Amino acid sequence: MSRSISTLTGLGRRLDGGIVFGHTPRVQWADWMKPDHNNTVELGARVLLVQEPGKNVLVMAGADSLLVPPPRTCRCQPRMPGLLECLAQRGLSENDIDAVVMTHVQARLCREISELIKDGEMPRLLFPRARYVCGESHWHRARHPHPRDRELFVSPLVHGLESSGRLILVNANRCEWLGKGWSFHTSDGFTPGQLLPEIQLPGGPVVFCGDLIPGTHWLDLKVTSGLDRSAERVIDEKEHLLDHLVADGGRLFFARDPEVAMVKVMRDRRSRYIPFDHYSTLNRFDG
């Protein structure tokens, strides 16, 4: 089957660097990502577009980009292009999307959307024709969140997905609706049941690694995030996934790295994972 992948860019975000890099000393991570005066660093919001005959599929980390963006209150200020604008640049509209695969349904919403929801105005879900694909075990977490991360599961968004009639829950490493060429890894270290899709291309597999490995700096097994539910489990899951890709000659697709979209990985003589063959953007890449 002919299949290609492309990068789409949503609206990035800034988060506290100390939280993003967990126990990594500031003197080290500040060399990787320059913090501003508030100690925040810029993270990407990269979405993967997978195109195959008769089907356009989006893969995204979390549900941040799943709601209609708020209208501009002041048109004198330029608006950064978001996901819909990136789709339009590729000749697609939201009605052309057949499926949205979410690694998880946590959402860090912008202030404008959060205020709308607090006022009882829930923005509609994007992609009205698409099936929404999520891991079954993670969906249970979303329906019954732990107090530690309850605020990241936006109740109206979760209810909207459930009531759409288009939700597909994956409880194995395959999804019948997506068909051949798609498989899934499940990760519990960042959030229970995170679903990491592996897409087969002619040149080898590509794994969308979501929030398990946010970017190239997290290839170091010791580097974890203060957002992780279990740092020890994250380390074990990273090693398992990276060994799989090294053995298969596969690639990693990063959702959060502000500069790098995709890499291959090898192990050096000291058994460290080293990225190579970097891509900052992809346009119908087929391997």
pLDDT digits (tens, 9 = 90+) for 150-166: 999 998 899 999 999 99
> Strands 131-135 and 167-170, how do they pair?
parallel
* The predicted structure's pLDDT at residue 81: 63
Higher pLDDT, 245 or 72: 245
pLDDT digits (tens, 9 = 90+) for 202-227: 989 999 999 999 999 999 999 999 99
Domain annotation for the chain: domains and CATH numbers: 4-68+80-279 (3.60.15.10)
Q: Tell me the residue type at 254.
A: F
Q: Contact at 8 Å (CB) between 170 and 184? A: yes
212, two tokens = 């398990």
Distance of CA 254 to the CA centre of its chain: 7
The count of other CB atoms within 10 Å of the CB of residue 16 is: 13
